[in-house]
């Protein structure tokens, strides 16, 4: 994107003036360096400006350092909306509701795992469902799916997939309260009931990573976030609400499109920004259905992690405590949530849309578990399978972005460009030569996820840090990846 026309707030924040487009209610703000903005596509400007058209938007329409074009909102888009006067938009959340990342610690080290890495990855690939058309670990009857949509990760734990200690290390405790299965269509249930405990495809993955000594930026914080051994192995899981969430978003997008003009007198320049007043029957109903998908996704990642724990215990013939298999945290990056925020010195309840953006509460925030009250919320940022991923914590300064931060490295090449540029098989061999062992059900899909298809994760994290959105704790290098 050309930075011409953007107003520099500081070296890590640029503003799209409110005069850029007719109807903008607030300015747009892009948190990134000039270099990162230049790597974003031109559509990001347009889509961020469109976010600023939303009725009820507060302060700014925001784009994160990893931003790139999507549909409706840009990926990396954040909008805080007054729930009394503003709207909710499925296009500000995405089809994969509560797509997110979780990070589990182990007390294994690289030296312990490396000689048997291939066998371990094959065991994981064999038992963790991934790719197009794969069923999940759990298959539910139509009535049982209601329990999962209401209970989230807590339901999974009740069924034996994990322990109660896991729940306190999940955003929102792994369960959003305002979830009503009556707001979810039969089609959505049908799509979701066989998929709990499956990774899916695209950019979803399960990865073994190593925390090298030179990549620990804050040893004290790292220790409190259970990164305490030299060359410690961690497990990262990236997945979402699968077909259930996709269908809920599809159903309500269509519904909002049909009523937004006739019932509410609203119009938006992009149909993907179809919306309804939050405080309306349509808005509230979508919110309750969306929360069902949020809970389903928590449940999905919980069951996936349990599957990984089982494989590791079987493989090493040790129990979970002996292997130190503790959940560090689980974050969402496609949601809308009601949260208290300070606006011009006054606390207000706001509906914060985050699409490809992570909530990042600073130290002392009331929504944090006791364990992380002093450190700030752990923030998990997944990079490409070739480069690395990060663990950060939230900061007080991120209040200006409604406690939001980036979610990944962000694409620089489209999937089609990446598929034309890289060969999946060659990429797999090249990575193996570098000590990264990849298992996939889709070599063409693998090519689309090549490291060069993404921005430099280190540059994104540096901008995130400099902008004050979060504080880096550790960087992880991938050693084994399962791509869907």
Partner 1 sequence: MSYEIIEGVTRADIAVRIHAPDLQGLFREAGRALASIEIDNCESIMPVTSRTIRCEAAALDLLLYEFLQELIFIKDVEKIILLPASVDITEDGDRSILSAQAQGERIDRARHLTRTDVKAVTLHGLSVEQTGDGWVATVVLDV
Q: Which residues bind partner 1 (CB under 8 A)?
A: 41, 43, 68-72, 75, 94-96, 131-133, 135, 187, 190-191, 194-195, 200-202, 243, 246-247, 249-250, 253-254, 257, 270-272, 274, 411-417, 441-445, 448, 484
Cβ closest to partner 1, residue 192 vs residue 362: 192
CB of 419 to partner 1, least distance (A): 9
C-alpha dist (Å) from residue 219 to 11, 213, 396, 474: 28, 9, 20, 8
CB of 69 to partner 1, least distance (A): 5
Q: How far apart are CA 174 and CA 295, in angstroms?
A: 7
8 Å CB contact between 149 and 176: no
Cβ closest to partner 1, residue 14 vs residue 95: 95
Q: How far apart are CA 330 and CA 101, in angstroms?
A: 6
Q: Name residue 29's beta-bridge partners.
A: 15, 62
Residue tagged active-site, from 10, 353, 407, 416? 407
Q: How far apart are CA 113 and CA 117, in angstroms?
A: 6
Query: In this structure, is the dihedral angle defined by the CA atoms of residues 33, 34, 40 and 45, taken in order, positive or negative?
Result: positive
Is residue 68 part of the annotated active site? The answer reads no
CB of 286 to partner 1, least distance (A): 15
Cβ closest to partner 1, residue 204 vs residue 309: 204
CB of 318 to partner 1, least distance (A): 32
Cβ closest to partner 1, residue 18 vs residue 257: 257
CB of 258 to partner 1, least distance (A): 8
CB of 309 to partner 1, least distance (A): 25
**Closest by CA position to 454, among listed 409, 406, 387, 418:** 409
Neighbouring C-beta atoms of residue 272, cutoff 10 Å: 19
The residue behind tokens 């003036």 is: 17
**Closest by CA position to 141, among listed 207, 73, 189:** 189
Query: What is the token pair recorded at 332?
Result: 């969402």
Contacts of the segment 16-22: beta carbons below 8 A, 24+ positions apart: 16/45, 16/48, 16/49, 16/52, 16/61, 18/52, 20/45, 20/49, 21/49, 21/50, 21/52, 21/53
Cβ closest to partner 1, residue 133 vs residue 214: 133
Cβ closest to partner 1, residue 362 vs residue 408: 408
Cβ closest to partner 1, residue 32 vs residue 368: 32
Helical (H) or strand (E) element with 74 = strand 73-81
CB of 432 to partner 1, least distance (A): 21
8 Å CB contact between 223 and 270: no
Query: Catalytic residues, which ones?
Result: 407
């Amino acid at each position: 994107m050309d930075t011409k026309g953007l107003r520099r707030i500081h070296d890590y924040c640029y503003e799209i003036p409110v005069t850029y487009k007719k109807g903008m209610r607030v300015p747009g703000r892009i948190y990134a360096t000039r270099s990162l903005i230049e790597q974003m596509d031109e559509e990001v400007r347009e889509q961020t400006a469109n976010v600023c058209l939303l009725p009820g938007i507060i302060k700014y329409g925001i784009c994160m350092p990893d931003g790139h074009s999507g549909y409706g909102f840009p990926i990396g888009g954040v909008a805080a909306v007054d729930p009394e006067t503003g709207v909710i938009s499925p296009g500000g959340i995405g089809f994969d509701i509560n797509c997110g990342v979780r990070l589990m610690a182990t007390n294994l080290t690289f030296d312990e795992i490396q000689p048997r890495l291939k066998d371990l990855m094959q065991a994981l690939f064999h038992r963790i469902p991934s790719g197009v058309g794969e069923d999940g670990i759990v298959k539910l009857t139509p009535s049982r799916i209601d329990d999962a949509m209401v209970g989230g990760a807590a339901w999974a734990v009740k069924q034996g997939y994990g322990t109660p200690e896991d729940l306190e290390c999940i955003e929102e405790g792994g369960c959003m309260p305002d979830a009503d299965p009556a707001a979810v269509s039969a089609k959505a249930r049908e799509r979701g009931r066989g998929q709990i405990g499956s990774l899916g495809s695209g950019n979803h993955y399960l990865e073994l990573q190593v925390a090298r000594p030179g990549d620990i930026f804050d040893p004290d914080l790292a220790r409190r976030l259970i990164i305490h051994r030299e060359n410690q192995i961690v497990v990262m899981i990236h997945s979402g609400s699968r077909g259930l969430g996709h269908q809920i978003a599809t159903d309500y997008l269509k519904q909002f499109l049909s009523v937004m003009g006739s019932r509410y007198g609203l119009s938006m320049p992009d149909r993907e920004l179809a919306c309804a007043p939050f405080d309306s029957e349509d808005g509230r109903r979508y919110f309750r259905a969306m929360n069902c998908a949020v809970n389903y996704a928590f449940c999905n990642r919980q069951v996936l992690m349990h599957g990984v724990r089982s494989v590791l215990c079987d493989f090493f013939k040790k129990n979970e405590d002996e292997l130190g298999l503790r959940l560090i945290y689980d974050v969402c990056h496609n949601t809308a949530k009601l949260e208290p925020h300070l606006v011009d010195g006054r606390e207000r309840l706001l509906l914060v849309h985050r699409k490809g953006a992570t909530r990042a509460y600073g130290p002392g925030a009331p929504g944090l578990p006791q364990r992380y009250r002093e450190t700030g919320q752990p923030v998990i940022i997944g990079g490409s399978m070739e480069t690395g991923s990060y663990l950060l914590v939230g900061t007080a300064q991120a209040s200006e972005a409604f406690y939001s931060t980036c979610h990944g490295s962000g694409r620089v090449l489209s999937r089609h460009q990446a598929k034309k540029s890289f060969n999946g098989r060659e990429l797999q061999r090249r990575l193996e030569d570098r000590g990264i062992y990849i298992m996939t059900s889709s070599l063409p899909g693998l090519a689309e996820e090549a490291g060069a298809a993404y921005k430099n994760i280190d540059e994104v994290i540096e901008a995130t840090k400099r902008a004050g959105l979060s504080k880096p704790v550790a960087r992880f290098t991938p050693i084994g990846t399962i791509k869907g």
